[in-house]
Chain A
Amino acid sequence: MKKPGLLRAIIGWLRRYIQLRAVVSTVALTGVALVALGGFLSYSIGNGLFQTRLTQVLNESQRSVIQVQNTFSASNVSDEVALQTLMNSVVPSLESNSGSQQRLVALLRSPAQAAGSLALQSPMSSNLNLNVIPTQLRAKVAKAGSHLEYQSVSIPGTDGAHPAVVVGAPIQIPLAGAYELYLVFDLQNEQNTLLFVQRTLVVGGLVSLILIAMVSYFVTNWLVAPLRVASDVAESIASGDLDKRLPAKGTDVIANMATSFNRMADSLQKQITKVTNVSTMQQRFVSDVSHELRTPMTTIRISGDMIFRNRDKLAPSLKKDAETLNDQIIRFEALLGDLLELSRFDAGGVRPHMEPQDVQHVVGMSIASVEPLARSKGSKINVDLPSEFAEVELDSRRIERLLRNLLANAIEHGEGKPIDVHVGATEDAVAITVTDYGIGMSKEQLDRVFDRFWRADPSRQRTSGGTGLGLAISQEDANLHNGWLQVWARPNQGACFRLTLPKVRGGAVTESPLPMPPAKALWDLPEGFYHE
């Protein structure tokens, strides 16, 4: 693994592209098969060539040996010189016998020959090196009766070593005793034929591989193309173009897939249209209810207001009723307003009015609006703002309402202790934490804090006129901005709510710029519970 990066990239491509994978594996498997086939062919052809030549060589040698032996047996030379002349004539007669193929000859004196025989020269072809004749062969020939012995060797040629066969046989020479005749046959022609065959096999194999790669590319392309189309169409449907369909032609498996896909798309389209219609109807219903309920509600409110204004004119026994009536109408109206707001969220009909705003300004506005409540409860609001201007795209009406709600909750549960507000910003997000050091919450309470109509402590006196829906609406508003609304709390130590918003519309929050609870708290806070 010298280049793990490159290797990983290749593996990556293979994983990603099914077509590349198919082509590469086809080529690899065919390559292995071709190498095996080529090896087998090359081996059989080589072997066949060798065996044919060997048979021929042995036949030729047999003839030559018999001829030489006969020559010697039939001669009636009586002196050393005549014998040497005869022996010397044997070599060229055999050498010239062989046409274009080189054939070398040696007539060697057997080493096992009894001493005292005539010491004659051993004639041999001029370009034969005696080292070519292996000693094992010589040993075998010495022991052989009348039959031939042979061995494959390599001989030096003009263009490097040539494969060759050495055939040897004992010869009895009158007067001179035991001699050995060696014939060296050059097999370069057969070797050349084999090389040619091998080269042809390699070239043929490579050409086949390229052809197979091309064929498999075209075949897989043809199979993958409908999948690509299906993928594109599915993508279009996913991005909202519900009318897109696959072309379904023929009766093959791909046409079947297209038909099934189109049926699925039809059914999806029907469902989505139905859901959209229901949602539109629900939105219209909520809007109608809102209008129809609000007009009489306002009329009742005005009447209540009139009675309340003139309560001094009522009989003393009714004065208390006038006050209760007014209070409860106000509460009822707030509840109705919050319920309608939540229904609007549930019906999916809420469109935020996003505008770039300075977050410090939004925080300042929210704090200013709860100042009277804070003063009445004796809570001081400490603010920690970043020095730089942080512009955020938000619906200021909703975010101010959300912060007002968090601040009012903090004041209500803060038991007159200070409230800390921190603002933090990073490159792409802002966070606002509102921390109180009041009664806090247990783990069980924390888990339900965003539930509708849930109250931390129903027996507690309510002063800020909350409806029990405030935090549920706040969370919906945070979601509407792609933001987070999270809370930390600990019983009798306080609670910290953190709002994190992306700076641009549609952005995503990955990390909040502020810790929760705040790092710079008025007091050291022990470990608390989180609900995110």
Chain B
Amino acid sequence: MSKIVGIDLGTTLSEIAVMEGGEPKIIENREGARTTPSVVAMAKSGEILVGVQARRQQITNPQNTLFQVKRLMGRRFSDASVQQDRKMLPFEVREAQDGGVEVRMGDKWYKPAEISAMVLRKLKQDAEEKLGEKITEAIITVPAYFDDSQRKATKVAGEIAGLDVKRVLNEPTAAALAYGLNKKKDERIIVYDFGGGTFDISILEVSADTIEVKATGGDTHLGGEDFDQKVMDWIIEQFHKDQGIDLAKDPLALQRLKEAGERAKIELSTSLETEINLPFITSGTEGPKHLYYKMTRAQLENLVREYIDKSIALVKQTLQEAKFSPKDIDEVVLVGGQTRMPAMQEAVKELFGKEPNRSINPDEVVALGAAIQGGILQGEVKDVLLLDVTPLSLGIETLGGVNTVLIAKNTTIPTSKSQAFSTAADNQTSVDVHVVQGERPLAQDNKSLGRFILDGLPPAPRGVPQVEVTFDIDANGILNVTAKDKASQKTQSIRIEGSTGMSKEEVEQMRKAAEMHEEEDKKRKDAIEAKNTADTLIYTVEKTVRDAGDKIAEDLKKDITERLDILKKAKESDNVEEIKRVTEELSQIIQKAGAAMYKDQTPPK
């Protein structure tokens, strides 16, 4: 049975994904890339090129290189948007006999759906190669505002490409699916899709068996490319001021600037500062000129502030038209590469007062959601098999108040983990199991989920008993913690509900707290571990000395006793360096004693 693929047929870029092992996965094309430019061209040789190769020869062949064809699909020639877009498209666009649109490539005229079909065919063939199986069925996504005629054209494009289009799915709905939001009945979702060239807003409502589109908005000519332009303009202006040369007049320099500007913008999403370094950018009257500027994140944000503000204003407008207020929105989803920008995420978060969903690659989330829809139709995605993860680490409190993690955060459930622990003192007959949830190294700084005591342990020296602690979480997030003493077989357990049911806000908060306190937490944990090590050594040394009796020379014994006292005192202080140093010294001495004891052994008769 062949798989149903999910295809995001975008205005500038397209992607294809499929379900594998219960999870959607993007399929790379023949060139090894995860995205395919939605560009088709007839080369001078007459060969038809699709994807990145078509884009590479665009400059030498502008009239026969077709791009952004999505803007023309299913439209009437007389549509205002078609007339507007015609102006910026270098290829010929004319009215078809039925009032639709036709585009020219080479000597032939094509319907936009035929051109999109070529992109779909490449995606299909490359995917078949990668997967090693035929693909005949697909889900293709479209903007939520596409009308019947546009959706039909999309379906036709699929059919021409040899695909049975099982469903034409709304892009925002696909994104919501990718985040599993279809399970959130009666909730309202807003999808903020800021791509390369278009900005789309969609308000969705999840009902019992469908996701309904309540409202749409946006700006079809606002995107990340406008941001790149602002950066470029800034660089050109600076250079003009500093060097008196207008780089806008130098096509070669402009190309380098465009690439550098885009790279700088992307870097500033993860760094606070970046540099734009272009030696030999051009030649002046006195010789070659070099360009070097530093740009901070704050500077970039100033440059594009008006676009971000505009997008927020458009969101407010769409909300108003749908008669909703930001408070009515339960979930926010970010789509499109530009949404990686921290300032944009902040603006959206501020408007809605909640963390947006952005953990899935925003360039791929729509294709992934479409693949999930394909999986649902094939029955591969059962509700019962959509598994959760633990949002935060789960552990128990061990000697010194340390948080010893048994199940790390983001582990898929159901799952089970066990670890053996022991006692801290001689003749300790019970252990206290304190279950905590969180990322901080000390138990007290995390959330306490519950505690219980396992007693009746047979008396034994410290470190000898074996108590196995098991954490078991079922598919519903119910955590069962069991402690079992291997010697007596005695067991005690506790059942904790809702360990996975934390709101995104709470999880974010705890994660941030861990990050903020990372330095000091590490120091505290270090100190505790140093003390624990010292403790264990003191115990071992005292025992050894006791057992050895006079097998240890007097002066050595004196040395050991002195060091023991120093260490005991050091332990009370908080001087970690001191504790570690004396621990090491004592360790060396007792080893010497041990070695001496071995030498003195009378050989067996």
Bind each other = no
